[in-house]
């Protein structure tokens, strides 16, 4: 092994945008190159959504937070979400028409991996693939989704198997870090969670290292693969999802129009270049976007629309390329719970962009609450009647969900 000359390394590593300024701000500019970043979460929290969005964002020029690069996506759980990648690529190409190829999917190279030994065996092939320069853009992002699936069934909880497993951890991570440093790559791996077994949980509890429990979906969880794998990654991000109630009131009032919604959050558990921080986010058809926290968005920033006896609170906010995007709650309609005017959602207000602009004008005090305003909103929503309610607070929750 040859030691690396640290004097030849850049003082500041390149960073890859997550595709949202709020998420980038939380991560200090994006996902760093020359290191391994891990996304930890239970199922349906958004791990794959983040990875797919990163694979597309890598194609952007550095001036827009990208790497002018293609990506290699190694998937270990089947089937690969081609339909979702195509859906995201259409929105991505539409919003960056002058910056990316006609079909961004062509610069995402997908390869299936079935077990840990195969992962180790293909490392030389990955190196040759990157060196070959046969791709339209150089490969500067490697995604492994997920690393935990490679070790799910092959190893038992015996001292010998745990030793063999740890050895594979270090070999795979060592190869990935070598590739990351040599080619200035960003490496992103996803990991799963297991139920946290504390000291009070009995003699059969599994010790997973000196990190505490995390909360997701009302469960106490911790990252899978234990302390040995935790020492193999440079940064660890935790995605969580929890149910919250839209609006205020008791359980009876929930039957009258309020409902539970999924609230998602990204937390930085550890990173050598970042303090602990968090950012709430939503998953829409267009991708993953951060939302401002409730502490930042004061109550007088919110509006509730009343129509047909139902409340339609605007409950989410994010800024993307200068456009304020608002998310509207699910409500109990004639066909059950459905999204109304949710940015990226389906159903409800199909002319959501006009609704967004009206909401923005209203919130900024640029539009009076008069008959003309009501008529304009009525026309866009296609409603038979409409009344404007008082300004009130609201809970930040997600829009239309896409599970990973």
Q: What is the mean pLDDT of the chain?
A: 72
pLDDT tens digits, one per residue of 233-274: 999 999 998 876 555 444 334 444 455 667 899 999 999 999
Q: Exposed, middle or buried by CB within 10 Å (0-12, 13-18, 19+), for 67?
A: buried
Q: Is the pLDDT of residue 386 over 80?
A: no
- Summarised one tens digit per residue, pLDDT across range 107-159 is 999 999 999 999 999 999 999 999 998 889 999 999 999 999 998 777 777 88
**Tens of pLDDT, residues 173-195:** 999 999 999 999 999 999 999 88
| Residue 13 confidence (pLDDT) | 81
Nearest to 312 by CA among 259, 354, 351: 259
In whole angstroms, what separates CA 292 from the centre of its chain? 15
Tell me what pLDDT residue 159 has. 84
Model pTM score: 0.69
Higher pLDDT, 312 or 139: 139
Quick one: average pLDDT of 198-219?
54
Q: Rounded distance, CA 238 to CA 67, Å?
A: 24
Q: What are the sequence ranges of the domains in the chain?
A: 6-245, 299-391
Q: What whole-number percentage of the chain has pLDDT above 90?
A: 42
* Average pLDDT score over residue span 90-105: 88
Classify domain 6-245 by CATH number: 3.40.50.300
More confident residue, 305 or 139: 139
Name the CA dihedral angle for 287, 288, 289, 294, rounded to a multiple of 10 degrees. 140
Of residues 287 and 261, which shows the higher confidence score? Answer: 287
Cβ atoms of 88 and 105 closer than 8 Å: no
At residue 6, the pLDDT reads: 64
Model pLDDT, residue 114: 92
Record the tokens describing residue 41, joined without a space.
């979460």
pLDDT > 80? residue 338: no
List strand residue ranges (DSSP E) for 231-294, in order: 235-245, 260-270, 278-284, 287-291
Tokens of 155: 């190893």
Whole-number pLDDT of residue 249: 44
């Amino acid at each position: 092994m040859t030691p690396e000359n640290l004097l030849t390394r850049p003082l500041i590593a390149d960073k890859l945008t997550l595709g949202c300024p709020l998420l980038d701000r939380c991560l200090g500019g994006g996902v760093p190159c020359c290191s391994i970043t891990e996304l930890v979460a239970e199922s349906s929290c958004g791990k794959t959504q983040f990875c797919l969005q990163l694979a597309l964002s890598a194609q952007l020029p550095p001036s827009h937070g990208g790497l002018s690069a293609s990506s290699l996506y190694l998937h270990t759980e089947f089937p690969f979400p081609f339909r979702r990648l195509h859906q995201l690529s259409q929105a991505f190409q539409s919003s960056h028409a002058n910056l990316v190829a006609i079909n961004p999917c062509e610069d995402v190279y997908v390869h299936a991996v079935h077990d840990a030994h195969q992962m180790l065996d293909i490392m030389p092939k990955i190196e040759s693939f990157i060196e070959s320069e046969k791709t339209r853009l150089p490969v500067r992002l490697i995604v492994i989704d997920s690393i935990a699936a490679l070790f799910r069934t092959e190893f038992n909880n015996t001292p010998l198997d745990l030793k063999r497993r740890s050895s594979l951890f270090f070999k795979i991570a060592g190869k990935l870090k070598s590739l990351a440093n040599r080619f200035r790559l960003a490496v992103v791996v996803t990991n799963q969670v297991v139920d946290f077994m504390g000291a009070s949980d009995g003699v059969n509890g599994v010790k997973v290292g000196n990190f505490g429990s995390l909360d997701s979906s009302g469960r106490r969880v911790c990252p899978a693969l234990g302390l040995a794998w935790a020492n193999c990654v440079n940064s660890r991000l935790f995605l969580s999802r929890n149910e919250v109630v839209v609006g205020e009131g008791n359980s009876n009032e929930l039957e009258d129009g309020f409902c539970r919604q999924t609230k998602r959050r990204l937390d930085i558990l550890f990173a050598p270049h970042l303090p602990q921080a968090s950012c709430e986010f939503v998953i829409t058809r267009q991708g993953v976007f951060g939302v401002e926290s409730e502490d930042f968005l004061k109550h007088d920033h919110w509006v509730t629309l009343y129509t047909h006896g139902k409340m339609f609170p605007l409950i989410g906010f994010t800024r993307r390329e200068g456009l304020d995007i608002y998310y509207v709650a699910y409500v109990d309609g004639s066909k059950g719970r459905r999204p109304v005017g949710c940015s990226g959602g389906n159903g409800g207000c199909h002319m959501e962009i006009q609704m967004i602009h009206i909401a923005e004008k209203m919130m900024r005090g640029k539009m009076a609450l008069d008959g003309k305003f009501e008529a304009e909103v009525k026309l866009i929503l296609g409603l038979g009647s409409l009344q404007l309610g008082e300004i009130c607070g609201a809970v930040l929750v997600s829009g239309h969900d896409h599970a990973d």
